[in-house]
Structure 1
């Protein structure tokens, strides 16, 4: 039995009856929805983290492919969690670049918002920040694929945590009018995180752009502001 199959068996042993149906509804797996045809078996994220921590040190990148390319959502998420743990423990540049190349080569399997959000800023965001090279994220932001666009903006979470905001603002503006609500939420979320670090940066951005921002994006962005200020933005009084 391959190590990937051992991991899959460990996840199967943690299935909660009835949870898969709930997760398939939550992650919009119906016909025409963003997660169409995604399959769930019903394992909680904390349990997936536990499995990932147990196996990430011994599983190889080649073995991870079997899980990351699985039709089962929990297999892909657990694979990405293991990849994050591997990246966090890898100190040499060659090893980090190998993980980055692996991530990008198999990017088509990172195809739901939780898969993106769990992995991209801890891998791509950190790598691009530490190497002072935003080309990977710029390319993803220009992609026609929504998940790749979301990766670009969410990856800037690492930059925000380090007090750098320009990429976040650039990517938010570039895809401000994207047709999908999941991009509006991502843009608003990252702008809100920027505001938590530096409210002036957020207010300056809002004062220039809030009237053209989709409502969902705006609501997410202003969530942590003073209530009176929030209402002023929502009612267009600024």
Structure 2
């Protein structure tokens, strides 16, 4: 068997019908839901990581087949392999090929775990010291998952103490109607507060009253209970 067949076979051997049914509900695959039509094999993320690490020599032709798969776990495994390959690569030119692949396949990075387990580990690291205008384009787009990628990619910047783009993109998405974006923005604001509470407090000062309640709750989650109550009561 070739590498692609080995990967798909191992995923199926690791799958569970009960787990697949649970994941289908958890990731909202019903008609009209954000994950409509997605299909699951029923493989845990740790097992997918093990499989991905085993096949880091998979080339782009294999990743292309996996990322386009209707099966969620095959797409996630492709992304995990891509991240591993990116981090193993020592040249700027080589790393760029993995970044370009990611950017050109965002239509298949179409659920929140696919975004959150890959974007900041790859794009976030890549964009350190580089032009980040693409993230703003995505934040302003009508594409839910590109918007989430734009926000969550900022995790890498925030962990380096670089808050500028996180706050600017949060501003662009401040009144987004979808809870998956509201949660992402709140999450990244909370991460900012973990690094520098004053930066978060200053950001919230003129904005908290305009924020969706879900976003605000996520952003202030680490504040003392009395402080949280003040924000929520005043809203």
The TM-score by the shorter chain falls in which range?
A: over 0.9
2:133 aligned with 1:151: no
Deviations 1:104-127, CA, capped at 9 Å, x for gaps = 111110000000011110111111
Deviations 1:159-208, CA, capped at 9 Å, x for gaps = 00000101111111101111211100000000000000100000001111
Structure 1 match to 2:108? 109
SS in 1 for 2:206: helix
- 2:138 pairs with one of 126, 137, 140: 140
- The question of whether the paired residues in 2 share the 8 Å contact of 1:128 and 1:136 is answered with no
Structure 2 match to 1:77? 76
SS in 2 for 1:235: helix
Structure 2 match to 1:53? 53
User: How many angstroms apart in 2 are the aligned matches of 1:139 and 1:89?
Assistant: 29
2:34 aligned with 1:12: no
User: TM-score, normalized by length of structure 1?
Assistant: 0.96
Structure 2 match to 1:176? 174
User: How many angstroms apart in 2 are the aligned matches of 1:143 and 1:208?
Assistant: 25
By how many angstroms is 1:132 displaced?
2.5
When the two structures are aligned, how many residues end up with a matched partner? 235
By how many angstroms is 1:136 displaced?
2.1
By how many angstroms is 1:17 displaced?
3.4
Structure 1 match to 2:163? 165
Structure 1 regions of 5+ residues with no counterpart? none
User: TM-score, normalized by length of structure 2?
Assistant: 0.98
Structure 2 match to 1:64? 63
- The question of whether the paired residues in 1 share the 8 Å contact of 2:106 and 2:145 is answered with no
Structure 1 match to 2:32? 32
User: How many angstroms apart in 2 are the aligned matches of 1:205 and 1:196?
Assistant: 14
SS in 2 for 1:66: helix
- Give the RMSD, CA atoms, in angstroms: 1.0
